[in-house]
Chain A
Amino acid sequence: MARKHREIGKAGWGYTAVASVVGLIYFFPVLWIILTAFKTRTDALAVPPKLFFTPTFENFTSVFYRASITTGSSQATDMGLYFFNSIFIAFTSVGLALIVGTIAAYAFSRYPLKGNDTYLFIILTTRMMPPIVVIIPIFLMFRLSGLAGSYWGIILLYTAFNIPFSVWLVKSFFDELNPEIEDAARMDGATERRVFFNFCIPQVLAGLSATFVFGLILTWNEFLFALLLTGVETRTVPVAMARTLGGEVGVDYGLLAAIVTLFLIPIFFVTFLLQNQLLRGVTFGTVKK
């Protein structure tokens, strides 16, 4: 049905007010963290919280450089490495899961086997239990196979965790396509590979973007497996963040807030980059053209 879209900016004051309030409620914790990142230790702990203060970049500097108490000179921390690890591990595993998931989803959607639903259900069951249930067997497997602490270990694990999600989501996008277009391409001389890459993939790009971002957010925030299965060299930011808690001088809220703020940037950047595709992907199937 061709319903006329409401023009942007003509939503009326009532809607705008409600949307602003809801937006503010959701965004408030994030705003607080970001503000705290720019506060000195005294300001951060002030009661009542200060809304107006003199911003400082001290916290951000101390994420990467720490003044040594004994020598007085500043010393580089490993935080740069941890940020690299987080980015490298998350992007690689979500990317791998998306590639494998897309190919599998296409097969499930276009070449249904006997017992197709059973296979799909089995794939889904891996997401049904809380991850903590399998943590001991996985930990032991990683120890035995020597994967513990390596990049490949944690990447493979995250890939495995992301594949079911990717298969299900991408399959729903393939299911929505008009299969006649693929048949038409076949009639017009396209090979199966060409049908897949030149005709199917371009039509589900929005869906692939949405799947990628959802997977990325899940993986980016993952803490439990990262805590147990990464080593000193492969530690991710969430684990590193947890390690700043405690210590001899109590919790350094400014430092923590600065790490969180930096931690937000990559996800924010990716989401922003894909926002048009993402919106189309999320509303795919619900809004009929």
Chain B
Amino acid sequence: MTIKLNKLTKRFGSLTAVDAIDLDVGDGEVLCLLGPSGCGKTTTLRMVAGLEAATEGDVMLGGKRVNELAPRQRNVAMSFQFYALYPSLSVADNLAYPLHAEKLSGAEIEKRVAQVAKTLQLESILKRTPSQLAEGEKQRVAVGRSIIRDPQCFLFDEPLSRLDVQLREEMRGEIKEVLQDLSRPTVIVTHDQLEALTMADRIAVMRDGRIEQVDTPHNVFQSPSNLFVAGFIGTPQMNLIPATLKGSNGDGLADFAFEGEQSLKIKVDPAVSKLSPGAKVTLGIRPRNLEMSVEPTEDSLSTKIDMVEPMGAETLAHMHDGYHDLRLVTDWRVPLSEGDLMHTRFPPDTTHIFTEDEQVLRSAP
């Protein structure tokens, strides 16, 4: 079973919510659609489900175009943000409801309900109605109702957004475990990058109805393909500093000038040599990748610490060089105090260079 989206587009009047996206989800793969609110991720999910009609493009399930099929004919299981439990039915009946459509015998239904209840520890609350459940229990029933069938694929809309932090971590593990046992393509919509990074096999980062990057969580984090993904993924946010390329030589070293007098000379990807001197670029580096140095060096920027935020195991320092703000994260044992002058070095392997059209400069591996 696979999900394949082909130039899928959705317009609401003059607004284009989803703009010609292509996406493949393989059998047993968990794909997270990640993006800020209003980027079209839920609309995409609803088009796969059949709850929203595609304006253009195809939704293919298991190689078959299903655009014209109603939700109930697509054999897709979906769990909703607000759980959407049937208020008048008991937990057991909620779980059993999808099975009635499959015309299973009463004994078979009971067996499956018992099985799912066991997996998700719902046995003690089977007789309750949704209004008598705690948030976490509602969430588990919602998940249970979607996995009770054997559908072509699973869709989850913001599965954890309504839970508090502790419960969220707990459920993240539980859902991940459940998903591993389902050998079906799964799409999870979320705006929480941690959720995406932890649960997904691959992440599709969306913005304004377009997919900005599809890759493994590791690659999305380590090798963002453009400025948006770089800034969106990772906390604290990646430092993004505008600069001008002064020149590069054959041995892979490049000079960058910043607003103010400071400049930087670092080893760069060969792709940078394609740029002509004077080109505007943006340097991106994660706060955890910046290194501190006592002496000024060719590859460092002199800064002053504005504010220090202890975060437990690490310390976050906000710094500036008079023109740009920088964030640096370091071990909590490193003594930092406000007003300190510091030289921050840009290690070449973790410094990303983005061109003026916001794309990363990186030669293919």
Contacts and interface: CB of A to CB of B under 8 A. Distances in A.
Interface of A: 178, 180-181, 183-191, 199, 202-203, 289
24 contacts: A180-B83, A183-B46, A183-B49, A183-B51, A183-B71, A184-B80, A184-B84, A184-B85, A184-B145, A186-B50, A186-B71, A186-B72, A187-B49, A187-B71, A187-B77, A187-B78, A188-B97, A189-B72, A189-B100, A189-B102, A191-B72, A199-B86, A202-B87, A203-B87
Contacts of A203: 87-88
B355 interface: no
A186 to B, nearest CB: 4
Contacts of B275: none
A271 to B, nearest CB: 24
B82 interface: yes
Interface string B70-113: 11100011101111111110000000011011100000000000
Given A181-B86, A202-B88, A203-B87, A188 B80 contact: no
Contacts of A189: 72, 98, 100-102
Interface residues of chain A: helix, strand, loop or mixed (majority): helix
Contacts of B101: 188-190
A178 B82 contact: yes
A289 B132 CA distance: 12
A181 B78 CA distance: 11
Given A180-B82, A199-B86, A202-B88, A187 B97 contact: no
B179 to A, nearest CB: 18
Given A184-B84, A187-B78, 17 more contacts: A178-B82, A180-B82, A180-B83, A181-B85, A183-B78, A183-B84, A186-B51, A187-B76, A187-B98, A188-B72, A188-B101, A189-B98, A189-B100, A190-B101, A191-B72, A202-B88, A203-B87
Most B CB contacts (10 A, CB to CB) among A178, A183, A184, A187 go to A187
A195 to B, nearest CB: 10
A185 B71 CA distance: 9
A183 B70 contact: no
B188 to A, nearest CB: 16
